[in-house]
Each structure stands twice: as C-alpha cells, then as structure tokens.
Amino acid sequence: QLQLQESGPGLVKPSETLSLTCTVSGGSISSSSYYWGWIRQPPGKGLEWIGSISYSGSTYYNPSLKSRLTISVDTSKNQFSLKLSSVTAADTAVYYCASLDSSGYYLLDWGQGTLVTVSS
Amino acid sequence: DIQMTQSPSSLSASVGDRVTITCRASQSIGNYLNWYQQKPGKAPKLLIYAASSLQSGVPSRFSGGGSGTDFTLTISSLHPEDFATYYCQQSYSTLPLTFGGGTKVEIK
C-alpha cells in the first residue's frame, strides 16, 4: 500500500496559480503498475477528477480544466505536481492526490487531502 | 462526458439492515465501474473495482453487481462504521473519469 501526502499553500489569490505537490512513499513513482492523479471536492459537494499522469509522463486532463492545468512528475523526488492557473473562488476545494491502477483506472490509494481556498 | 447518476441521494437505515445503492451510466461502460466510501473529513476509500471485485481488506458484507449501464452496491448487513457517503466512478472513458453525485447513508 502506497502512502501519498499533498503539500502546498492553503490560500491562493484570485487570478493566481494554485500549485500542489504529492509525495509518494512505499513505492516508486516510475512503476508501470500505477498512474497518478488529482481529484478535488468543493466544500459539501461531490468529487471531480482533475487529471492524471502516467509513469511515462503522458497526461490526461479533464477537458473542463485543460486550458489552465499542468500535471508533471519528478521521478528523482518521487513526487508529482499540479498547477492550476487563473484560479477563481470556484476552485476552492479539498484537493486529493491518488494512485490509479494503470489498467483499470480506479483510485487505489489517496492522500489525506488539502484544503485550498481562493480568496483575496 | 459519461454522466453517472446515483440513487437515492440519501437514505436512512438501521444497523443490521440490507442496503442497496444504484448507479446508472449515460452510456454502456461494460464493467468499468468502481465504488468508494467516504467518511466526513477523510479521503475516499476504494471498496469495489471492476463492478464486482472486492478490494483487499474490505469486509465481505459489501458487494457490487451490474454491467453495461446499471450497477448496484449492496451492504448485506449495515454496521455502525458503514454510515458514510458512497460514490460510484466510471473508468471506461478516461477523458474524463467521472463520479456519481454520492449517496449519504445515515442512521435511522
């Protein structure tokens, strides 16, 4: 079982870029068994898939966020990252990182989540 | 996008009850359907993948069924720790992966 931990600012100003990092332990981020993903949950609401990245660096973005989104991997640090630009209050949410099974695309292990608030 | 519709959105049940939650996809997704449990303030936890496969460590009172567009999650006998919100998620189309709106299981 992998352990994942999100890190990054809890408060971002409108129009700025939200940046989060997920550190993976208990396994290699280069493993072909996994993809790596970000999911968010606005307060009191349901889950929204943001995007994923494969062990080879291929990215899969939610079309609704694609124009503002970058997901990348740093294999030397066993981390992957999320950058979401031009944020608004609608981007306020708990952001989760997770591992995905590379064949079934189900979400196996999750980080604890981090609340990011967009406010001036 | 493939839309996932869960019903009911909430239900009240007692310890020991049998509970069934339904998830319907807007198009056929084969058996690419997964179920998660989320407790307040916690990350979701995978219960069932590929419609009916029980994730390791998940109690056998949880079971999943269905294929195509209609799926169910059944808890055979509700335990106190099962009161939570349950989400379905399709993984047939990865662009984007989509979730149902959730079903909150509350204590009667």
pLDDT digits (tens, 9 = 90+) for A87-111: 999 999 999 999 999 888 899 999 9
Check if the beta carbon of residue A97 is closer than 8 Å to that of residue A6. Answer: yes
CB contact under 8 A, A60 and B95: yes
Q: What mean pLDDT, rounded, does chain B reach?
A: 97
Check if the beta carbon of residue B63 is closer than 8 Å to that of residue B47. Answer: no
Residue to substitute from A6, A65, A107, A114, interface B, most B β-carbons within 10 A: A107
CB contact under 8 A, B43 and A49: no
pLDDT value of position B95: 82
How would residue B44 be classed by pLDDT, with cut points 50, 70 and 90? very high
For chain B, positions 40-79, list CB contacts with chain A under 8 A.
42-46, 49-50
Cα(B69)–Cα(B72) distance, integer angstroms: 10
pLDDT value of position A98: 98
